[in-house]
Structure 1
């Protein structure tokens, strides 16, 4: 079994054939898919998916691109939606200085609000970080000092410094199809440094399809290819990377029920 720890099945890219996309993932051995919220105000779309498919779980949160649009979303609103039994995470939230689609202070405010939600609920925070390594790490360290929470640096494409600081805080690091790109050797070097018990895989579908589908629409079934490259990168076989990343996903997303036979160390 593999788990796609981050996809966006609610996006319009999948609307015409979401049943087929889920079916192909199941056929590829993807036992769980976590469809990640980008707008609290559109949580109804996440809820519809997780209630439709037994093996699809979700999150609630506002992507930093939409931080200004949803700056009025309150902590209490996030907490109320997070009570849904198939919500297994908070976010995604964080900082994106590449696109700067929301003012940076508004992104930071939203980031801290989501950290508070993760702390209050005990659910892990899904972190988006792009070209903001120092500020992301500084906020995480500051907030961890105010009370522990769990989190994952999703679709990791940042520098080794953020990876190290994140792991030191007990965070997980998730790799997407970027890991499979020919020019991603630096990223593969970072992956080799991550303790195996902190590794996850994801698609971030419909974006960032791994080789050989680079440039095409991504989908959860393709996480198999990212897992294969991660296995090669850290020197284990495909069965072992499936065991490692699946156990890690169930440990991090602890509300997500696991099937019999999946061992999850404390």
Structure 2
């Protein structure tokens, strides 16, 4: 994709942070380095690689080592993999959270879309991981997805558990986590922000039927937004059906700017500042 550097007419360089990517996915097995190089050329300066299953932790750490100063990692256990969860995985997870590459715990949370019958198991796994955020002083990347039936409200259940079971309050920081790939209501977004969470916005923002998300971003304000791709999933509308990758972050910034009546450069500056503070990526 063409770089968005300087396209605002001011000569300003757009510098972006990709807060949620899965570049160790097999979709990138043949051209991972080229994908990263293309994103860097497009103005994406830093990446948060999400390693949310035990087999992903070591490859993520290796990715950070291969690209020093560009990558940080989130390590955790995704609710989708609850059937594979064993309590003895937690000590191993702790080793990665103590590693210098660790910027966050995650992604963790609740997903009622595919297997709502495992809701209680997911909640138990979530509550087993939350104390690690406090122990290691890490923000959390949260995942929430409602079920297909009325009453299968993953957002409400997640918020209830955060209120009762999460005591990570980093001094001097506005946000203590991010609700990635946000797909909830405005009320959900307001609750998330009230709990100290930023909202992760990705290519789904550009989908024609996603006017509710665009309105939600407008209402909560750019100060509580970070940009992500969730690649290789959820490419922007211009590339629906294709593999997503971090080089699309500038396109997402441009779309958010269009929705808010501001430049992509202004969106980049604000969202990247929030991301840098949240994940400790300054400098």
Normalised TM-score (structure 2): 0.86
Unaligned runs of 5+ in 1: 260-266
Would the aligned equivalents of 2:235 and 2:241 in 1 still touch at CA under 8 Å?
Answer: yes
Larger Rg: 2
> Is residue 2:92 matched to residue 1:77?
yes
- Partner of residue 214 from structure 2, selected from 188, 199, 224: 188
Give the 3-state SS of the residue equivalent to 1:98 in structure 2: coil
Report the Cα offset of residue 80 of structure 1. Answer: 1.7
Report the Cα offset of residue 147 of structure 1. Answer: 5.2
Q: Hey, what does 1:52 align to over in structure 2?
A: 66
Q: Spell out the pairing of 1:87-98 with structure 2 (5 A cutoff).
A: 87-98=102-113
Q: Hey, what does 1:242 align to over in structure 2?
A: 268
- Partner of residue 136 from structure 1, selected from 125, 133, 158: 158
- Partner of residue 148 from structure 1, selected from 143, 165, 169: 169
| 2: CA distance, partners of 1:71 / 1:46 | 21
Query: Which has the higher mean CA deviation after the structures are superposed, 7-16 or 195-204?
Result: 195-204
**Deviation string, structure 1 residues 91-149 (Cα, Å, up to 9, x no partner):** 101011011277111111121222211122111110010001211111122224x5536
**Deviation string, structure 1 residues 125-181 (Cα, Å, up to 9, x no partner):** 10010001211111122224x553621000111112221111011111110100000
Summarize the Cα distance change of 1:194–1:44 in structure 2 as closer, same or farther, 3 Å threshold: same
Query: Which has the higher mean CA deviation after the structures are superposed, 245-254 or 193-202?
Result: 193-202
> Is residue 2:256 matched to residue 1:230?
yes
Length, aligned pairs only: 256
Q: Hey, what does 1:65 align to over in structure 2?
A: 80
| 2: CA distance, partners of 1:130 / 1:204 | 14
Question: Which 4+ runs in 1 deviate beyond 6 A?
Answer: none
| 2: CA distance, partners of 1:77 / 1:30 | 31
Normalised TM-score (structure 1): 0.91
| 1: CA distance, partners of 2:196 / 2:86 | 28
Would the aligned equivalents of 1:66 and 1:101 in 2 still touch at CA under 8 Å?
Answer: no
- Partner of residue 186 from structure 2, selected from 160, 165, 180: 160
| 1: CA distance, partners of 2:232 / 2:29 | 11
Would the aligned equivalents of 1:39 and 1:66 in 2 still touch at CA under 8 Å?
Answer: yes
Report the Cα offset of residue 38 of structure 1. Answer: 1.6
Unaligned runs of 5+ in 2: 1-14, 147-153, 171-175
Query: Which has the higher mean CA deviation after the structures are superposed, 225-234 or 172-181?
Result: 225-234
**Deviation string, structure 1 residues 51-96 (Cα, Å, up to 9, x no partner):** 1112122111111101220232454332221111121110101011
Q: Hey, what does 2:247 align to over in structure 1?
A: 221
